[in-house]
C-alpha cells in the first residue's frame, strides 16, 4: 500500500514541477511578494506632505513649526499666503495637511490666553488623516509643554507616560511581515491543491485513478502530502527571511510555531482539495480557491483588526484557518508565546483540516460524471 | 451540476473565404465571435458568478469586514488609590465610545490580561497621584499599549491622549489656573469629518472588484482557448487578430460595467458612502480602467496559455497589487521610493485615486485628468503588447 501511495506522491510532484512555468509560479512570486508587500504594506506615515499658512509674525509660531520640520513623518511642501490657496492644494492631493496659525498666536501665548492653531486634514484616506493627526498632536503637545516650562506657566498637573509592549517603536512591519508568512503559505498551498483534482477530472485521468487498486483514502494521502511539503518549505523559507532579512524578533518557541504551521497546512490543503473535488473544470477550481482566499485575506485580521468588525462578521471569522495561524505567528514572533498559551488556536485548525479532508475523500467517489 | 462544455468556436461560423473582406463581413464575423463569447458566458455558471455573485460577496465581506475604526477597545484601568481626582479622570473613559474600560485592582492582574490579549491597553494611576497633583508637581500616568498591531496601538494611544487633554482643560478650569496646554488646536477633517474608514475603503474596493472581474475572468477564458487548442483553430479562419480580441473584449466589458453599476449602487445605498462627484465621470473613468484590466487579463493569458499559470499570474499580478499597492488601504506616499515607482505600473492605483476623489471630494479635475491619462496610456501599452504577442504566435 505504501508503495502505491509513494508512487502517487511522486507523480503529483512531477505534475507540479516538471513544467517550467508552473515551477516558477510556485517559487518566484511568493518571494517577490514577500519583499514588495513587506515594504509596501505599512500604516506608518512617512514624509506626509503639508503646507503652512502662518499669519503670525512672532517667534512662537516659528518655534512650533520647527517641530514639524524636524519630524521624519512630515515633509513641508510650501508656505501659503492666503486662505484661498488651501482648498486647491488639498483637493488635488498635493498635501494631506495644512497648518493655519492665527495672526495673534504669539501675542495670545504671551498673554497666557489660549493661542489658536487650525489644522486641516484630507479625510479621503481616513486612516492617514487619523495617524497624521496623532503625530501632529504630539508635536503640538511637546511644544506646549516646552513653552509652559520656559514661560513660567504652572507645571502640568499630570502627564502620560506611554509605553508600547512587544513593539516599542510601533513599527507596522513587525505586524505585517509575520502576517505575510501566513498569507503566502495559504496562497501557495491553496493553488497547488485546488487544481490537482480538477485538472485530472478535466483530463479524465481521475476516473482512471479511481479504477486502480488505490482506495480513496490512499488517493487523499497522495494528494495531501505534496501540498504540505511544498507549503512547509515555502513557509520555512519565508520565516527565515522574516528573521534574517527583515529582522523581526522571533521570541517564542519554534516548536509552537511549527505545530501551528503543520495544522495550518493541514487545513489549507483540506480546503484546497475540497474545492478541487467539487470543481468540474480548472476554472471552477481556481474560482473556488479565490472565494476562499479573498475572505481569508480580509477577515483573518491580516490588515485590519477583527475586533473592528460587526459581531456577525467576527463570528464568521472563526471559520477561517488563517485567523488562528496569524495569532500564532504574531504570538510566537512578537509576544514570545509558547504552545500552552496557543492551544485555543490549534484545535480549530485541526478540526477544519480533518473535516474538509474527510469531505474531499467522500467527494472523490460521489462526484462522478 | 455538470456544466455543458462550451461549444467549440466553429459556432462563430466563419464566412466563405473571399480574400478582400468587406465591412459587412467584418461586422458579421465580429458579431459571431461576440455571440459565441456571450453564449460561453451564459452557459458557464462560473463566469456569471464572477460578474455578479463575486461583487456582492466581496462588497459585503470588505464593506463590513475591513474597518480601521477601533471602537469599544477593551482597556484595563488600574487605580492604586481611588479619590475624587482619579474618578474624574477615569470617568471620561466610561463615557467614551472608543473604550470599553475594565477595572483591575492591581497592575499585575492588568498586565496578565494584556499579555493574554484580553485588553489592548492599560491606564495606570499610581498611589501618589493625588499628592503630586495637588502639590504642583507633574503626576505621571502610566499608559501601556499592546504594540503588536502598531496601527491600532497608535489609535488607542491617540484616544487616550484625547481623554487626557480634555481632562487637563477641565482640571485647569476648576482650579482657576491658566490652561495647562497653552495651544488650542482646531482640527478639521475635510471630505470625511467623521473619519469613517468605510467611506474611504468602499470606493477603493470598487477598484479591487473591477480588477477581479476584468483581469481574472479574461485571463482564464483566453487561457482556456489556448489550452484546448481552439485559439489556433480560430486563427486559421479569416477572422483577424483584432477581431478576435475585440470579440473577447466587448462581452466582458459589458459584464464588467454591469458589475460596476451594481457595486456603485451598493456603495451608495447599502454602505451610505456619499457620491459627491458626477456619476457620469465615475462611469467614464471606470470604463477606462476596465479596458486596462481586460487588456491585462488578455496579456496574462496570451503569455501563459495554460489555466493554472494564468490563474496564478492573474492573482499575483492583478489582485494582490490592487489590494496592497494601489493606495486602496495602504498610503502610497509612505512607501519606500522603489515601491512607489513600482506602483506607477499598477492601473488600480490611478483608478483608486479617481474613485476616492469622485466619491468623497467631487469632480476635482486636477486629480481626474492626470489619473485618467495614465489609465489610457496603460491600456494602450497592454493592448499593444497583446497584439504583438498574439500575432507572433501565428507566425
Specify whether the CB–CB gap between B173 and A149 falls below 8 A: no
Paired sense of beta strands A48-54 and A74-79, if any: parallel
pLDDT confidence tier of residue A169, bands split at 50, 70 and 90: confident
Distance of CA B247 to the CA centre of its chain: 30
Decide: helix, strand or coil at residue A250. Answer: coil
CB contacts of B228 in chain A (<8 Å) are none
Per-residue pLDDT at B11:
47
Question: Count of CB contacts below 8 A, A vs B?
Answer: 349
Task: Please name the member of A21, A109, A156 whose beta carbon is closest to the beta carbon of B304.
Answer: A21
Distance of CA B380 to the CA centre of its chain: 24
Residue in A with minimal Cα distance to B86: A158
The three three-digit cell numbers of residue B138, written as one number: 507633574
User: Is B182 within 8 Å of A109 when comparing Cβ atoms?
Assistant: yes
Task: Please name the member of A91, A120, A175 whose beta carbon is closest to the beta carbon of B150.
Answer: A175
User: Is A298 within 8 Å of B66 when comparing Cβ atoms?
Assistant: yes
Dump strand ranges (E) for B4-120.
73-79, 99-104
Q: What is the DSSP string of B310-353?
A: HHHHHIIIIIHHHHHTSSSSS-GGGS-HHHHHHHTT-HHHHHHH
A20-76 tens-digit pLDDT = 777 777 778 788 888 888 888 888 888 889 999 999 988 889 999 999 998 888 999
- Per DSSP, B357 falls in state I
Q: List domains and CATH numbers for chain A.
A: 15-41+172-366 (no CATH), 48-150 (3.40.1710.10)
What residues contact A4, with CB distance under 8 A and at least 6 apart?
Answer: A213, A214, A218
Cβ atoms within 10 Å of A105's Cβ, excluding its own: 22
Distance, in angstroms, between A352 CA and closest chain B CA? 21
Per-residue pLDDT at B156:
87
**∠B238-B241-B246 over CA atoms, to 5°?**
110
Dump strand ranges (E) for chain A.
48-54, 74-79, 97-101, 115-122, 158-165
User: What is the mean pLDDT, run by run of 10 residues, along chain B of 395 residues?
Assistant: 44 53 78 80 70 78 80 89 85 85 91 86 88 80 88 86 84 72 77 81 88 80 77 76 80 86 91 91 94 89 78 78 85 86 91 92 89 93 84 50
- Among the listed residues B214, B209, B208, B215, the one whose alpha carbon sits nearest the alpha carbon of residue B324: B208
A119 forms bridges with which residues in the sheet? A99, B187
C-alpha distances out from residue A19 to A23, A203, B95, B306, Å: 6, 16, 62, 11
Residue in A with minimal Cα distance to B223: A283
Task: Please name the member of B70, B136, B186 whose beta carbon is closest to the beta carbon of A154.
Answer: B136
CB contacts of B306 in chain A (<8 Å) are 19, 21-22
Residue in B with minimal Cα distance to A183: B320
Residue in B with minimal Cα distance to A47: B334
User: Is B138 within 8 Å of A153 when comparing Cβ atoms?
Assistant: no
Burial of A366 (0-12, 13-18, 19+ CB in 10 A): exposed
Distance, in angstroms, between A271 CA and closest chain B CA? 17
pLDDT confidence tier of residue A2, bands split at 50, 70 and 90: confident
What residues contact A31, with CB distance under 8 A and at least 6 apart?
Answer: A237, A241
User: Is A39 within 8 Å of B50 when comparing Cβ atoms?
Assistant: no
User: Is B3 within 8 Å of A137 when comparing Cβ atoms?
Assistant: no
User: Is A115 within 8 Å of B182 when comparing Cβ atoms?
Assistant: yes
Q: In whole angstroms, give the CA distance from residue A348 to residue A313.
A: 17
CB contacts of A83 in chain B (<8 Å) are none
Task: Please name the member of A29, A134, A160 whose beta carbon is closest to the beta carbon of B316.
Answer: A29
Q: In whole angstroms, give the CA distance from residue B260 to residue B218.
A: 16
User: Is A45 within 8 Å of B140 when comparing Cβ atoms?
Assistant: no
Share of chain A above pLDDT 70, in %: 98
CB contacts of B335 in chain A (<8 Å) are 39-40, 42, 46
Owner of C-alpha cell 499580478 = B317
User: Is A157 within 8 Å of B144 when comparing Cβ atoms?
Assistant: no
The three three-digit cell numbers of residue A22, written as one number: 508552473
Task: Please name the member of A153, A191, A330 whose beta carbon is closest to the beta carbon of B312.
Answer: A191
Which range, of A159-168, A240-249, A324-333, B111-120, averages the lowest pLDDT? A159-168
Q: In whole angstroms, give the CA distance from residue B256 to residue B291.
A: 10
Instruction: Say which residue, B46 or A184, is predicted with more confidence.
Output: A184
User: Is B184 within 8 Å of A117 when comparing Cβ atoms?
Assistant: yes
CB contacts of B338 in chain A (<8 Å) are 39
User: Is A47 within 8 Å of B142 when comparing Cβ atoms?
Assistant: no
Residue in A with minimal Cα distance to B139: A158
Dihedrals phi, psi of A119, to nearest 5 degrees: -125, 130
User: Is B333 within 8 Å of A48 when comparing Cβ atoms?
Assistant: yes
Per-residue pLDDT at A368:
59
Per-residue pLDDT at B132:
82
- Among the listed residues B273, B149, B93, B192, the one whose alpha carbon sits nearest the alpha carbon of residue A306: B149
Per-residue pLDDT at B178:
63
Residue in B with minimal Cα distance to A342: B116
- Among the listed residues B293, B284, B283, B289, the one whose alpha carbon sits nearest the alpha carbon of residue B263: B283
Q: In whole angstroms, give the CA distance from residue B299 to residue A323.
A: 34
What residues contact A131, with CB distance under 8 A and at least 6 apart?
Answer: A43, A44, A45, B151, B154, B155
Dihedrals phi, psi of B76, to nearest 5 degrees: -100, 140
CB contacts of B184 in chain A (<8 Å) are 114-117
User: Is B150 within 8 Å of A171 when comparing Cβ atoms?
Assistant: yes
- Among the listed residues B286, B80, B314, B149, the one whose alpha carbon sits nearest the alpha carbon of residue B218: B314
Which sign, positive or negative, has the C-alpha torsion A307, A309, A314, A316?
Answer: negative
Instruction: Say which residue, A169 or A95, is predicted with more confidence.
Output: A95
Task: Please state the rounded mean pLDDT for residues A206-232.
Answer: 88
User: Is B179 within 8 Å of A114 when comparing Cβ atoms?
Assistant: yes
Q: List domains and CATH numbers for chain B.
A: 26-66+196-394 (no CATH), 73-175 (3.40.1710.10)
Paired sense of beta strands B183-190 and B73-79, if any: unpaired
Residue in B with minimal Cα distance to A176: B149
Distance, in angstroms, between A1 CA and closest chain B CA? 31
- Among the listed residues A170, A303, A174, A304, the one whose alpha carbon sits nearest the alpha carbon of residue A242: A174
CB contacts of A35 in chain B (<8 Å) are none
Q: In whole angstroms, give the CA distance from residue B168 to residue B161.
A: 10
Task: Please name the member of A118, A167, A309 whose beta carbon is closest to the beta carbon of B188.
Answer: A118
Amino acid at each position: 500500500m505504501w508503495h502505491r501511495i509513494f508512487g502517487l506522491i511522486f507523480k503529483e510532484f512531477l505534475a507540479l514541477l516538471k513544467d517550467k512555468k508552473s515551477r516558477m509560479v510556485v517559487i518566484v512570486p511568493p518571494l517577490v511578494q514577500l519583499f514588495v508587500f513587506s515594504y509596501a504594506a505599512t500604516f506608518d506615515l512617512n514624509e506626509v506632505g503639508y503646507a503652512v499658512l502662518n499669519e503670525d509674525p512672532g517667534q512662537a509660531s516659528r518655534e512650533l513649526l520647527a517641530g514639524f520640520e524636524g519630524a521624519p513623518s512630515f515633509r513641508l511642501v510650501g508656505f501659503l499666503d492666503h486662505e484661498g490657496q488651501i482648498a486647491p492644494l488639498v483637493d488635488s492631493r498635493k498635501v494631506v495637511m495644512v497648518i493655519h496659525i492665527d495672526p495673534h498666536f504669539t501675542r495670545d501665548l504671551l498673554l497666557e490666553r489660549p493661542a489658536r492653531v487650525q489644522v486641516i486634514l484630507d479625510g479621503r484616506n481616513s486612516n492617514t488623516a487619523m495617524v497624521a493627526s496623532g503625530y501632529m498632536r504630539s508635536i503640538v503637545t511637546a511644544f506646549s509643554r516646552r513653552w509652559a516650562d520656559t514661560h513660567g506657566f504652572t507645571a502640568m498637573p499630570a502627564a502620560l507616560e506611554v509605553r508600547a509592549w512587544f513593539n516599542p517603536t510601533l513599527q507596522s512591519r513587525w505586524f505585517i511581515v509575520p502576517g505575510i508568512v501566513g498569507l503566502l503559505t495559504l496562497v501557495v498551498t491553496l493553488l497547488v491543491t485546488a487544481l490537482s483534482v480538477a485538472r485530472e477530472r478535466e483530463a479524465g485521468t481521475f476516473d482512471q485513478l479511481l479504477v486502480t487498486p488505490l482506495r480513496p483514502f490512499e488517493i487523499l494521502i497522495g494528494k495531501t502530502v505534496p501540498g504540505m511539503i511544498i507549503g512547509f518549505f515555502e513557509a520555512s523559507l519565508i520565516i527565515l527571511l522574516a528573521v534574517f532579512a527583515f529582522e523581526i524578533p522571533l521570541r517564542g518557541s519554534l516548536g509552537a510555531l511549527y505545530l501551528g504551521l503543520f495544522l495550518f497546512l493541514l487545513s489549507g490543503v483540506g480546503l484546497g482539495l475540497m474545492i478541487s473535488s467539487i470543481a468540474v473544470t480548472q476554472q471552477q477550481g481556481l474560482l473556488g480557491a479565490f472565494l476562499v482566499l479573498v475572505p481569508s485575506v480580509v477577515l483573518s485580521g491580516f490588515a485590519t483588526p477583527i475586533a473592528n468588525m460587526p459581531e456577525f462578521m467576527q463570528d464568521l471569522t472563526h471559520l477561517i484557518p488563517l485567523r488562528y495561524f496569524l495569532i500564532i505567528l504574531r504570538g510566537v514572533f512578537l509576544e514570545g508565546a509558547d504552545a500552552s498559551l496557543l492551544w485555543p488556536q490549534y484545535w480549530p485548525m485541526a478540526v477544519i483540516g480533518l473535516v474538509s479532508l474527510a469531505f474531499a475523500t467522500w467527494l472523490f467517489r460521489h462526484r462522478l460524471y | 451540476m455538470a456544466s455543458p462544455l462550451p461549444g467549440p468556436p466553429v459556432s462563430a461560423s466563419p464566412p466563405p473565404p473571399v480574400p478582400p473582406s468587406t465591412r459587412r463581413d467584418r461586422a458579421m464575423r465580429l458579431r459571431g465571435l461576440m455571440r459565441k463569447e456571450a453564449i460561453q458566458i451564459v452557459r458557464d455558471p462560473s463566469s456569471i458568478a464572477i460578474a455578479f455573485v463575486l461583487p456582492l460577496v466581496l462588497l459585503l465581506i470588505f464593506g463590513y469586514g475591513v474597518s480601521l475604526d477601533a471602537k469599544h477597545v477593551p482597556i484595563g484601568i488600574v487605580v492604586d488609590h481611588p479619590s475624587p481626582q482619579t474618578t474624574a479622570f477615569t470617568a471620561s473613559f466610561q463615557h467614551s465610545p472608543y473604550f470599553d474600560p475594565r477595572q483591575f485592582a492591581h497592575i499585575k492582574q492588568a498586565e496578565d490580561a494584556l499579555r493574554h490579549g484580553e485588553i489592548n491597553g492599560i491606564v495606570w494611576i499610581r498611589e501618589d497621584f493625588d499628592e503630586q497633583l495637588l502639590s504642583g508637581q507633574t503626576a505621571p500616568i502610566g499608559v501601556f499599549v499592546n504594540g503588536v498591531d502598531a496601527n491600532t496601538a497608535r489609535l488607542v494611544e491617540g484616544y487616550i491622549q484625547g481623554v487626557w487633554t480634555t481632562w487637563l482643560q477641565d482640571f485647569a478650569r476648576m482650579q482657576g489656573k491658566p490652561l495647562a496646554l497653552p495651544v488650542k488646536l482646531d482640527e478639521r477633517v475635510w471630505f470625511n469629518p467623521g473619519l469613517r474608514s468605510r467611506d474611504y475603503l468602499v470606493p477603493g474596493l470598487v477598484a479591487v472588484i473591477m480588477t477581479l472581474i476584468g483581469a481574472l475572468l479574461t485571463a482564464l477564458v483566453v487561457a482556456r482557448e489556448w489550452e484546448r487548442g481552439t485559439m489556433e483553430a480560430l486563427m486559421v479562419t479569416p477572422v483577424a487578430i483584432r477581431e478576435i480580441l475585440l470579440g473577447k473584449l466587448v462581452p466582458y466589458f459589458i459584464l464588467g460595467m454591469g458589475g460596476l453599476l451594481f457595486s456603485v449602487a451598493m456603495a451608495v445605498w447599502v454602505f451610505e458612502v456619499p457620491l459627491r462627484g458626477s456619476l457620469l465621470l465615475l462611469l467614464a473613468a471606470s470604463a477606462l480602467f476596465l479596458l486596462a484590466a481586460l487588456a491585462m487579463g488578455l496579456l496574462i493569458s496570451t503569455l501563459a496559455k495554460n489555466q493554472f499559470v494564468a490563474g496564478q499570474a492573474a492573482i499575483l499580478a492583478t489582485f494582490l497589487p490592487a489590494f496592497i499597492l494601489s493606495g486602496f488601504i495602504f498610503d502610497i506616499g509612505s512607501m519606500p521610493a522603489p515601491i512607489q515607482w513600482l506602483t506607477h505600473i499598477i492601473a488600480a492605483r490611478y483608478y483608486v485615486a479617481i474613485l476616492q476623489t469622485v466619491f468623497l471630494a467631487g469632480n476635482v479635475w486636477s486629480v481626474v485628468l492626470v489619473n485618467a491619462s495614465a489609465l489610457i496610456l496603460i491600456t494602450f501599452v497592454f493592448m499593444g503588447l497583446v497584439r504583438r504577442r498574439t500575432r507572433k504566435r501565428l507566425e
